[in-house]
Amino acid sequence: MHWSDVVAQRLAERGKKHIVSTGITPSGEFHIGHLREILTGDMISKAAKKAGLDVEFVFIVDSADPLRKVYSFLDDSYSAYIGHQLKQIPPPNEFGMPDLERFSNGVSYADHFLEPFKEALTQIDVHPRFIDNFDSYANGEFAETARQACNNADKIREIIERVSGRQLADDWFPWNPIDSNGSIDGIRVNGWEDPLVHWTDSEGRLGTSDVTKGEGKLPWRVDWPAKWAWIGVTMEPFGKDHGAAGGSFDTGKEIVELFGVKAPLDLTYEWISLRGKGAMSSSSGNTIGPLEALSLVPPEILRYLVASTKPNKAIEFDTGMGLVNLADEFERTTARDFSLEMEKEGLSRRQIVAIEDAKTAVELSCISEKEEASLVTFRHLALLAQTKSKDEDVWESLGLSESVSQAMTDRLQRMRTWIQSKHFPDELRITILEQPDSDAIGLLDDQNMKVLPDLTASLRTCEWTVKEIQSAISSAASNNEIAPRSVYRALYLCIMGRERGPRLPTILVELDRDSILSLLDACIQAKKES
RNA sequence: GGGCCUGUAGCUCAGUCAGGUAGAGCGUCGGGCUUUUAACCCGAUGGUCGCGGGUUCGAACCCCGUCGGGCCCGCCA
């Protein structure tokens, strides 16, 4: 059974109505790691729906969280905003400086980072109900849980200290009010009169906040279970950082019972790292944004990456050859006839499970109902895009000149972006040698050498068109009674320094004949001398 | 200190939850395809399942131990 169906089955055992929740703090650039959170939630929701459950998928934007520190991409002037809520501070401009003009037009720091992520979600066909945490506090959604938390401050303190093994400060209180400057740092709560907290801020000023009006927020370890309670969350996937023993899930599942609610079903997932570069980290700049990823990778393949990997497995995101292999695998899997495979006699339980998993992974990956049959493989498109600069020539080569779908146009556009990026693997890059490659020359065998002079002569005189070049190659093969394969091998070794390669005549015709001929002559000469 | 994940073919991994004759893709090798989509088709190759115990008629799988790798435990998905 696919992992999403396993979760759906567990949900079915618990009841009929479910809310699957995910959430992210918009403190900086989103990256593809965040995509795993939301895709995991999306896929669980789809599986639950398939199982006949009444399920809603929500995405909580933790815009009430304070700015923790001046991140590397921010200007030092942001230090004035440390401790201020992300929805209440200005967005950075291109230099990392606070952009007060956009702020005055209603764009907050949180919005600045959230908007591109929302765009990426649309592209990968994820459509959750968005819940803005800051607004939820302001609208009084947290009123009940906040009061309960404050009335049970001692119990909550006991849970956190016992479960996490951490010693809380003497003045710890399950409500962080906002001081006279707008910060939740350095403020001391010194009284609680339901629903008001009395406080002293870092400058010694006294104040009062009403917890039912969102004048402040619950600290993270209380905020999370409070959200489960008021939203009615029954399932939440989260990163392994929250899943550690004594982590926020462990304390949350006890705290939430003070609100009279059962903890949601949990699922801890592993992180995504960049191949050879370690974990994603916005601060180190070691990151690929969702939109950048989508400019290279078709959305269904990004979905497939998450769908086909069990949540507890770490994903290494590879923007080079790994991407080609992934795309190839996706295309192969999509093309399989699963019902036919299932009819086969004598399948072991394992084989059946493998077929089911592959089938479900494809279903969860496809964006639209009618995913058009793949007209061209990822690899082939990579070749065409490199050898043909005009889109029309690509379509013609694929026999698509009549009507080209938007999906195909998008794919070609992505391919061109990828080819121009630093991520495109050398292995797929078509390179034409200028000088004979000595290693390649060494690989030329007797048959290759036998046919090369004849071939060179034909190429010197034939018309420089695809058809004539092709015919020159094949007649060189038949005249010398050797397989065409061998002739191609000779050409690849001489021109590209490899034993195999893409369809040659179409590439040759776009190159300068004289330089190719002199390259071939040089190769023959070099081989003879060796 | 507490905890999680991980170790299976040259490579990437599935299979471990529900024990029942070791799997896939890629690679490699051979053959086919009388003008190759780095294609396609057919065949072959390849593993003391990290190691040691235990339970069992039977263990890659369950239990105990051990070694190696990655990671989490203020905040981070």
Complex confidence, ipTM = 0.83
Q: Which two tokens stand for residue A503?
A: 């369809």
Retrieve residue A71's tokens: 């991140």
Mean per-residue pLDDT for A118-125?
Answer: 92
Residues 6+ apart with CB under 8 A from A150: A173, A174, A175, A192, A194, A195, A197, A211
CA–C1' A244–B66 (A): 24
- Candidate from A11-20, A73-82, A333-342 with smallest mean pLDDT: A333-342
User: Is there contact between A259 and strand B, defined as CB under 7 Å from any strand atom?
Assistant: no
Q: Where are the beta strands (DSSP E) in A428-489?
A: none
Distance CA A166, CA A247 (A): 11
The pLDDT of residue A345: 65
Average pLDDT, chain A: 85
Q: Measured from the CB, is A24 under 7 Å from any atom of strand B?
A: yes
Give every CB contact of residue A222 below 8 A, 6+ residues apart in sequence. Answer: A149, A156, A174, A255
Q: Which of residues 166-195 of A touch strand B (CB under 7 A)?
A: 166
Q: What's residue A402's pLDDT?
A: 63
Is A242 in contact with A285 (CB distance < 8 Å)? Answer: no
Q: Is the CB of A314 under 7 A from strand B?
A: yes
Q: Which helix (H) or strand (E) segment is A61 a member of?
A: strand A54-61
Q: Is the pLDDT of residue A16 over 50?
A: yes
Q: Integer distance in angstroms from CA A354 to C1' B22?
A: 15
Closest nucleotide to A220 by C1' from CA: B75
As a rounded value in angstroms, the CA-to-C1' distance for A249 and B53 is 36
| Range picked from A88-92, A304-308, A341-345 for highest mean pLDDT | A88-92
CA–CA separation, A460 and A477 (whole Å):
16
Q: How far is the CA of A186 from the C1' of B36 (A)?
A: 71
Scanning residues 73 through 102 of protein chain A, those with a beta carbon under 7 Å from any atom of strand B turn out to be none
User: How would you class A167 by CB atoms within 10 Å of its CB: exposed for 0-12, middle for 13-18, buried for 19 or more?
Assistant: exposed
The pLDDT, as a whole number, for residue A137 is 95
A430, pLDDT greater than 80? no
Protein-covered nucleotides of chain B (CB closer than 7 Å) are 2-6, 12-18, 20-21, 25-26, 33-39, 60, 70-77
Q: pLDDT of A311-356, one tens digit each?
A: 888 887 877 777 777 877 787 777 777 777 777 666 677 777 778 8
